[in-house]
Structure 1
Amino acid sequence: MDKSTLKKNFHTEITFLNYVASKLFLHPRTEGKGNNRNFYGYHLIYSLVWLAIIQLSITLYLYGLKNLIAFTTVAPNVGVCMISALKYSIIYNNKPYYDRFFKHYGEDIWQTIPESKENAKVISKYTFISKVINRVFVCYSLPLVLYVDSFPWLIMKFQTKFLGKEKQLLYPFDGWYPFDKTVWYFAAYSWESLMTGIVVMIYMYSDMINIFSVTSICMEFRILGISLKNLVSDEDIQQMKGKDAEQVNRRIKNDLKTILAKHDVLAGMCKELDQLLGNTMFANYTSGCGFICLTAFTFTVVDDFYQSIRCFFFFLSLLAAVLDHCIIGQIISDHSMQLADAIYSSNWTHADQSTKRTLLILLMRTQKPFELTAKGFVTMDLNTFTDIMSTSYQFFNLLRTCYLPQMGEI
């Protein structure tokens, strides 16, 4: 597969991301046609999310402070809405970063990638991974919105028609209203369905673009590793024994300078991505333990079938959100560390002293992996995920020990 075909396939994923972004008023990123539509659309959605946050905060104040189950049900909803507002604003307010990122992987990188079967294989692999992940997110999120929005109504109908229970009005989430929501049931249900859909779609696109960013960076790490591994070829070793030795060493030095420049670019991109995701990762890290614990506690102790199922799926969603950040942090660290293996695998012993010193400096730099952190507070990786789960389980046991004997009174 030639470079133009590889570029076209990879660019298809960028186009797909931009198409999804346009539905959330996040594209085009730069000034121009459609900018006013995106400006007003963004602020409308952002205002609606904050309206939902205010509504849920009032609900938490009125009911959650008096009732444990009400608190454990409403508090995670407040947190999720606040994180979704944060995710949405970060993507919208960091247009310059995404412009540079898409320009780099849409145009710039293809001018310097050497044509080889190894590089083609790597590009095809990571393009396929991006394609699968993007399609899975979209194909999962749309049915999820439909399911979450229709589930209360389906349960309500099932209980009244098949179980013969008295009709109990159910909603996608429990929110306070300045009017009687039983009288305006369909209005309240429509509002909650709309906000549920918006929050899910914001989470979906934020995860899509973050995973695509990490996948693209990891692809470039692999290509850089191949360049390092092939820095001194077997043919170069043979030519060094002849009169072309000086010319070969000069070319190797130039290739190494190009690799170092690319490594610096990757370092800058990883640093920017870390700063970009820092607030979201910090929010997920600090709130993850509490919300995972609360939802797990609720679905294990509540008697209501609908509340139990809803909290169980909420628990899984929170788990997936934290795991997502930890996985991409782990992956980007692992890929940056693989450059050291590439240096060891190269024929560096045949290079001249100057090249060896430069490779040694690069090797020392690769000993410290690139990381995604929660505002520098903690590195987001699988070890951190284990710590979060351990802490959540401890809080879960504490809640059950302290409050389970009182559940009859609550």
Structure 2
Amino acid sequence: MSTTKLPVREEVLVELDFISSLGGKICLCPFSGKSKYKIMGYFIFFMLALTTTLQLFLTLVLASATDLLEIINIAPNLGVCIMTVIKYTKLETHKDLYNEIFLHFRDGMWDIISPYSDTQMNIIQKYRKIAMFINRFLLYYAIPLIVVVDSFPYIFMKYEEKFFGVKEYLYPFEGWYPFDKVKFYGIVYIWESCMTVVVVNVYVFANMVHATYIVFTCMELRILGCCLEELISPDDVKNITNGFNVDAIHLRTVRKLKIIIARHEFLAKKCAALDAVLGGAMLLNYSLGAIFICLTAFTCMVVDNLYKRVRYFFMCMSLFVEIFNQCLIGQILSDHSATLTNSIYSSNWLYASPEVKKIMLMLMLRTQKPFEFTGNGYVTMNMHTFSRICGTSYQFFNLLRTLYL
């Protein structure tokens, strides 16, 4: 581990500690070496999320097949709960992978960073701010989402009762219960409100972890590109041209290049491992995302009840943000890994030794295949995929509107 102390490093550590602190509240961080209380907490949260998923599944099974709006009301909530259970389980079962990546960004990557390189310092500052913006956006988006889902049913119920004399019992997600839920309205409402908080927190935290890892991976790829461009400095070019200390320069270049290749190989393996972990969830999002966005958007347009319109609008926006987030991080990762080819070409490779040229050529061939996230290998998650999802959703929307009208 490097002993170099950099101000920007401390800022990066603050962001990582912020993620770790949030994860500790839902018993996921630290990823490895959790206390027995954290382990118990994890199983409690897992059982709560799983119970809610089973409850909504029973609600969907018992719903009338002829009541389209009731099915539309249940299906997206069930999908979110299933995704939450998957994400929560993946984070725990693959905790060693997440912990290894976490420790790498804390300690492992800093020995290749030069505190005297303004370019590298600017890269770190830029990507730290991007990670902070994404994390704060997800956090501050989750807060109003929880408030709306938990409070609006009760507020609208009281509003309609006071001004219209109509008392319709409303709930956060309206699950099925083996008892009269009107009689135990308070207990049911508290249960559904608490489960909403659990599901949203787990969902948002998983997205924050993955977004942070991808942003910092892109940051390290940019730093590696910078190191490649500076592999043979102008002073080295001058010394090589004048025949001064040539062997020492070539030896140092080989050593630096091997470190860069080792780091690139590490990032490639970890991104491939993350792709294997997230592939199932991404494929599920791709398969059902267009349908759920279409159904919630259509229902928001056709229902007359203001509460349900607000409910379906937020549901549609949440699905839209989730799919956009997955496609965006996949696109950014691919773009950043592909730029290493340009960095190699932009270096002063003409002055390198034959050995260095061969190594750089092999690295260039390796960088021709960029890192990517896929849905179990069936579909690549990028902005082209996002446009396809939006296009498919719009086609379904027009079809439903034609049939409905």
- Whether TM exceeds 0.5 here: the answer is yes
CA distance in 2, matches of 1:230, 1:30: 37
Map 1:254-273 → 2, pairs under 5 A? 254-273=255-274
CA distance in 1, matches of 2:145, 2:378: 33
Instruction: Go from structure 1 to structure 2 and tell me whether the alpha carbon gap of 1:344 and 1:3 turns closer, same or farther (over 3 Å shift).
Output: farther
Partner of 2:24: 22
Partner of 2:215: 215
Name the aligned partner's letter for residue 81 of structure 2.
C
CA distance in 1, matches of 2:54, 2:252: 63
Partner of 1:408: none
Instruction: Go from structure 1 to structure 2 and tell me whether the alpha carbon gap of 1:124 and 1:102 turns closer, same or farther (over 3 Å shift).
Output: same
Map 1:239-250 → 2, pairs under 5 A? 239-240=239-240, 241-250=242-251
Name the aligned partner's letter for residue 353 of structure 1.
P
Partner of 1:197: 197
TM superposition shift of 1:64:
4.2
- Does the 8 Å contact 2:56/2:78 carry over to 1? yes
Measured against aligned partners, the alpha-carbon deviations of 1:61-100 in whole angstroms (never above 9, x if no partner) come to: 2224231111111111111111111011111111101221
Partner of 2:43: 43
In the alignment, structure 1 residue 346 sits paired with structure 2 residue 344:
no
In the alignment, structure 1 residue 397 sits paired with structure 2 residue 395:
no
TM superposition shift of 1:333:
0.3
- Does the 8 Å contact 1:90/1:276 carry over to 2? yes
- Does the 8 Å contact 2:301/2:309 carry over to 1? yes
TM superposition shift of 1:357:
2.2
CA distance in 1, matches of 2:391, 2:178: 40
TM superposition shift of 1:3:
4.1
CA distance in 2, matches of 1:386, 1:144: 25
CA distance in 2, matches of 1:100, 1:187: 42
TM superposition shift of 1:189:
1.0
Identity percentage of aligned residues = 41
Partner of 2:224: 224
Name the aligned partner's letter for residue 196 of structure 2.
T
CA distance in 2, matches of 1:57, 1:139: 29
Name the aligned partner's letter for residue 9 of structure 2.
K
- Does the 8 Å contact 2:23/2:205 carry over to 1? yes
Measured against aligned partners, the alpha-carbon deviations of 1:173-223 in whole angstroms (never above 9, x if no partner) come to: 121111111111111111111111111111110110000000110010010
Instruction: Go from structure 1 to structure 2 and tell me whether the alpha carbon gap of 1:3 and 1:129 turns closer, same or farther (over 3 Å shift).
Output: farther
Name the aligned partner's letter for residue 30 of structure 2.
P
TM superposition shift of 1:31:
2.7
Map 1:116-127 → 2, pairs under 5 A? 116-127=117-128
Map 1:2-401 → 2, pairs under 5 A? 3-31=5-33, 35-115=35-115, 116-161=117-162, 163-240=163-240, 241-401=242-402
Deviates more, 1:35-44 or 1:219-228: 35-44
CA distance in 2, matches of 1:111, 1:234: 23
- Does the 8 Å contact 1:237/1:350 carry over to 2? yes
Deviating above 3 A after TM superposition, structure 1's stretches of 4 or more consecutive aligned residues are: none
Name the aligned partner's letter for residue 288 of structure 2.
S
Deviates more, 1:325-334 or 1:285-294: 285-294
- Does the 8 Å contact 2:303/2:309 carry over to 1? yes
- Does the 8 Å contact 1:64/1:74 carry over to 2? no
CA distance in 2, matches of 1:64, 1:326: 35
Measured against aligned partners, the alpha-carbon deviations of 1:322-360 in whole angstroms (never above 9, x if no partner) come to: 110000000000000111111122111222222222222
Name the aligned partner's letter for residue 342 of structure 2.
D
Name the aligned partner's letter for residue 237 of structure 1.
V
- Does the 8 Å contact 2:231/2:253 carry over to 1? yes
- Does the 8 Å contact 1:3/1:120 carry over to 2? no
CA distance in 1, matches of 2:332, 2:89: 25
Name the aligned partner's letter for residue 379 of structure 2.
V
- Does the 8 Å contact 2:30/2:99 carry over to 1? no
Deviates more, 1:240-249 or 1:384-393: 240-249
CA distance in 1, matches of 2:255, 2:22: 41
TM superposition shift of 1:60:
1.2
TM superposition shift of 1:282:
1.5
CA distance in 2, matches of 1:174, 1:147: 15
Aligned residues: 400
**Residue aligned with 1:204, SS:** helix
**Residue aligned with 2:369, SS:** coil
CA distance in 1, matches of 2:141, 2:297: 23
Measured against aligned partners, the alpha-carbon deviations of 1:262-281 in whole angstroms (never above 9, x if no partner) come to: 11111111111111211221
- Does the 8 Å contact 1:172/1:193 carry over to 2? yes
CA distance in 2, matches of 1:375, 1:129: 28
TM superposition shift of 1:293:
1.5
CA distance in 1, matches of 2:290, 2:141: 25
CA distance in 2, matches of 1:251, 1:173: 63
CA distance in 2, matches of 1:113, 1:374: 34
CA distance in 2, matches of 1:317, 1:141: 9
